[in-house]
Structures are given as structure tokens and as C-alpha cells.
């Protein structure tokens, strides 16, 4: 026994920024961004708080699952940075939904939701939890260098959530790291108030070698799909729906090419949302679940890569009407 997905939710900032909007202050164009990445627009936080989006998505997922906050046994939040260092975003969500379960944030960059699903699986398999809330929220717009056209055009903000319950659903999971501190790097604040700090502050922005990330991503996504399918004793053709990390449409196409998968099985929202880091696959799941795309018994494969460098894939049987 492991878990099944019992409810999903998502919440996006109201403000939508198009590629043409970006071209007003950057040397870029809709044509360049769309043909290189598949992105047309993204949601960006203005006067809303990330906390509030995270809570809203959690409330929707709890209602969808028919689970009350007080009945949760664990709350995990996949994020690179909440609005406060402490309390964690997971604790803020716990307070809002009336839960007293253990709650903590987890940072595996864009693969965070898959790492959280595997942690939830361990708690459930070991008998420590029955109902787990997984939330993901990212304010990428607050971490970017808005003068760097090669990175800031790629990202968006958002929040998503799922409730997983003990039962039959998860079929397999694979997580891995290829440790590298240069290819994607986003520094934290260095010794802000310490009179003793002697370490120089790096520029607070994302530094990324796009070409190297691209190569890693295509290779890692392909490998993780093969391994997760092998563990679930399935072939890639037997997967009904692919939910890949939404970093770049060309990366998605290139990593799935060798499996000769029917393109209609590969779900995307990158055109409207850009890359929301860990939150991407969560919002994707909720949007397609709410459209009624998944039927009971469908096999869903989540696959992602991100800073760290982290990667992973999880396969689940959709066990919900
Ligand atoms: N608009 C116009 N021109 C641009 C832009 C832009 N926004 N950005 C870069 N360029 C220019 C470059 O300066 C370069 O010009 P030059 O040839 O005169 O030097 C030219 O376009 C080509 O640049 P390339 O890097 O070759 O473009 P490429 O086709 O590789 O696409 C991209 C770049 C989109 C960044 C791609 O490499 C990519 O998607 N990489 C992966 C990024 C990624 O997935 N990041 C996720 C990070 S992990 C996380 O999610 C936290």
C-alpha cells in the first residue's frame, strides 16, 4: 500500500505578463521567446502574497479530497523560498487550514513536488501518516535578475496543492542528484546583520548556463522515465499521461522523442504559465484534473529536473472520479 491522489488545487497571481510586455524593457521579442521556449505569457506576483496563494491552493485541494485540516498527518511544502524564513510556508498553511500535523518546507528546486511525493510515500508506508497535504508555491519573479534576458523571460509565479491518502495509487518513484553548484545557482542573503561575516555577497539573482541545463535536462528526464517505468513494470507507451516539468517545450520534446509517444499524451501549460519551478507540475495536474482529462485507472507519469542538479520521476494510477 502507498498513496493515491485524492484532491488537487491551484492558485495563480492575477497579473499576466506577456512576451510583448517584457519586450517593452528588455532587448527581446515574442518571436524569440515563443520559438525557443513555447512561452507566451506568465503570471507574476504584484500586491498578492505567496503565502495567500499557497493557502488558497491548499484549501481547494482539501475540499476536493473531502479532508479537513485537522485530519492531516503531515504537511509538506515544496518551495525554494517562502515569504518568511520562519515560520516555514508549510507552517503558515497549517495554521490557515486548522492543522496541527508536522509541517515543513522542502527544497529540491523544480523537482520539489516529486521529492515531496516520495517523502509522503515513506511516511504512509511506514504507518506514520494516512492523509498528507503537499503544497508547492514559488515566487520566481522575486528571485530573478530582470536585466538578464536569457533567464528572466522563462519564469512565472504560482501555487498548487494535492492531498494524498493511504491506498493504492503510486506505482513507482525515482529520485536522483548530479551535484553541481554552478550550472544553476541562486544565492541567498549572506550574513545580512552579522558584524562577523567576511563572506562577500553574491548578486541576488539566478545565474544559469542555459545550454548546460538543456543538455542535463534532456538526458535526466529520459533516464528517469526509463527507470520509473522499469520499476513499475510498464513501458513508456503504457503511460496514459505525461506531466513533465514546464521549463522549455523544446526540452520536453527532445527528452520524450526516443519513446515515440503520441504528443496528445504530453500535457503542457508552459504557454500560459512559463516555468514555475516545483509548482509547474502541480498546477498542470490540477488544471487537467479539473478539465476531466484523467479517468480512473489512467497511469500518470510526473518527470522533472532542476537546480541542484536534481531530477526524478513518479508514476501513479489515477484513483479518483
Ligand atoms: N531574447 C532575445 N535574445 C536572447 C534572449 C532573449 N530573451 N535570451 C538570449 N538571447 C540571445 C543570446 O544572447 C544569444 O545571442 P548571441 O548568439 O548573440 O550570443 C542567442 O539569443 C542564442 O542564445 P542561446 O543560448 O543559444 O539560445 P538557446 O536556443 O540555447 O535558448 C534557453 C536559450 C531558452 C535559455 C535554453 O538554453 C534553455 O531553455 N535552457 C534551459 C533553461 C532551463 O530549463 N532552466 C530551468 C532552470 S531550473 C529551474 O527551473 C529553477
pTM of the model: 0.96
Check: CB of residue 79 under 8 Å from CB of residue 112.
yes
Q: Kindly report each contact of residues 17-20 with a partner whose C-beta sits within 8 Å and lies 24 or more positions away, as own/partner.
A: 17/41, 17/42, 17/43, 17/44, 19/153
pLDDT the model gives residue 270: 98
Q: Report the distance separating Cα 137 and Cα 149, nearest Å.
A: 23
pLDDT the model gives residue 321: 82
Which residue lies with its CA nearest to atom 3 of ligand 1?
Answer: 28
- Which of 314, 247, 316 is closest to 280 using CA atoms? 247
pLDDT the model gives residue 87: 97
Average of per-residue pLDDT across 221-248: 97
Give pLDDT tens digits for 3-62.
999 999 999 999 999 999 999 999 999 999 999 999 999 999 999 999 999 999 999 999
| Strand 299-306, strand 310-317: pairing | antiparallel
Check: CB of residue 302 under 8 Å from CB of residue 232.
no
Give pLDDT tens digits for 121-173.
999 999 999 999 999 999 999 999 999 999 999 999 999 999 999 999 999 99
Residue 125 to residues 78, 136, 170, 310, 317, Cα–Cα distance (Å): 20, 22, 11, 24, 17
Percent residues over pLDDT 70 in the chain: 100
Grid coordinates of 220: 535526466
Q: Assess whether 275 carries a catalytic annotation.
A: yes
Q: Which segments within 50-195 are labelled E, that is strand?
A: 74-78, 103-106, 131-138, 158-167, 170-177, 184-185
Q: Report the distance separating Cα 35 and Cα 300, nearest Å.
A: 28
Check: CB of residue 277 under 8 Å from CB of residue 112.
yes
| Ligand 1 atom closest to residue 33's alpha carbon, by position in its atom list | 7
Q: Assess whether 207 carries a catalytic annotation.
A: no
Q: How many whole angstroms from 320 Cα to the centroid of ligand 1?
A: 39
Q: Assess whether 273 carries a catalytic annotation.
A: no
Q: Report the distance separating Cα 40 and Cα 57, nearest Å.
A: 24
Q: Which segments within the chain are labelled E, that is strand?
A: 2-11, 16-18, 41-43, 74-78, 103-106, 131-138, 158-167, 170-177, 184-185, 207-208, 241-244, 299-306, 310-317
Q: Report the distance separating Cα 260 and Cα 256, nearest Å.
A: 7
Give pLDDT tens digits for 185-234.
999 888 888 999 999 988 888 889 989 999 999 999 999 999 999 999 99
Check: CB of residue 275 under 8 Å from CB of residue 43.
no
Which residue lies with its CA nearest to atom 35 of ligand 1?
Answer: 210
Taking the alpha carbons at both ends of the chain, their separation in whole angstroms is 20
pLDDT the model gives residue 209: 92
pLDDT the model gives residue 22: 98
Element (H, E) at 244: strand 241-244
Burial class (CB in 10 A: 0-12, 13-18, 19+), 27: exposed
- As for ligand 1, residues whose beta carbon falls within 6 Å of it are 28, 32-33, 36-37, 109-110, 149-150, 153-154, 184, 208, 210-211, 213-214, 217, 247-248, 275, 277, 306-307
Amino acid at each position: 500500500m502507498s498513496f493515491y491522489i485524492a484532491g488537487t488545487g491551484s492558485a495563480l497571481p492575477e497579473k499576466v505578463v506577456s512576451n510583448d510586455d517584457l519586450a517593452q524593457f528588455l532587448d527581446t521579442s515574442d518571436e524569440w521567446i515563443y520559438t525557443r521556449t513555447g512561452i507566451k505569457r506568465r503570471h507574476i506576483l504584484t500586491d498578492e502574497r505567496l503565502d495567500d496563494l499557497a493557502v488558497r491552493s491548499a484549501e481547494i485541494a482539501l475540499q476536493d479530497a473531502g479532508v479537513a485540516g485537522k485530519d492531516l498527518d503531515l504537511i509538506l511544502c515544496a518551495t525554494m523560498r517562502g515569504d518568511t524564513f520562519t515560520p516555514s510556508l508549510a507552517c503558515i498553511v497549517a495554521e490557515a487550514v486548522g492543522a496541527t500535523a508536522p509541517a515543513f518546507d522542502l527544497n529540491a528546486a523544480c523537482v520539489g513536488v516529486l521529492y515531496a511525493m516520495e517523502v509522503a510515500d515513506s511516511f504512509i508506508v511506514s504507518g506514520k501518516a494516512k492523509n498528507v497535504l503537499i503544497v508547492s508555491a514559488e515566487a520566481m519573479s522575486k528571485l530573478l535578475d530582470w536585466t538578464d534576458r536569457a533567464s528572466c523571460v522563462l519564469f512565472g509565479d504560482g501555487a498548487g496543492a494535492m492531498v494524498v491518502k493511504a491506498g493504492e495509487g503510486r506505482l513507482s518513484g525515482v529520485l536522483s542528484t548530479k551535484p553541481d553548484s554552478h550550472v544553476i545557482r541562486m544565492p541567498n542573503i549572506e550574513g545580512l546583520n552579522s558584524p562577523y561575516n567576511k563572506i562577500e555577497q553574491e548578486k541576488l539573482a539566478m545565474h544559469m548556463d542555459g545550454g548546460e541545463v538543456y543538455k542535463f535536462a534532456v538526458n535526466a528526464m529520459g533516464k528517469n522515465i526509463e527507470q520509473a517505468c522499469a520499476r513499475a513494470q510498464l513501458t513508456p507507451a503504457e503511460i496514459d499521461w505525461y506531466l513533465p516539468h514546464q521549463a522549455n517545450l523544446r526540452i520536453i520534446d527532445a527528452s520524450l522523442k526516443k519513446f515515440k509517444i503520441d504528443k496528445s499524451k504530453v500535457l503542457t501549460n508552459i504557454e500560459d504559465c512559463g516555468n514555475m519551478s516545483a509548482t509547474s507540475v502541480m498546477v498542470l495536474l490540477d488544471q487537467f484534473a479539473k478539465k476531466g482529462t484523467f479517468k480512473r485507472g489512467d497511469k500518470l507519469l510526473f518527470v522533472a529536473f532542476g537546480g541542484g542538479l536534481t531530477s526524478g520521476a513518479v508514476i501513479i494510477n489515477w484513483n479518483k472520479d
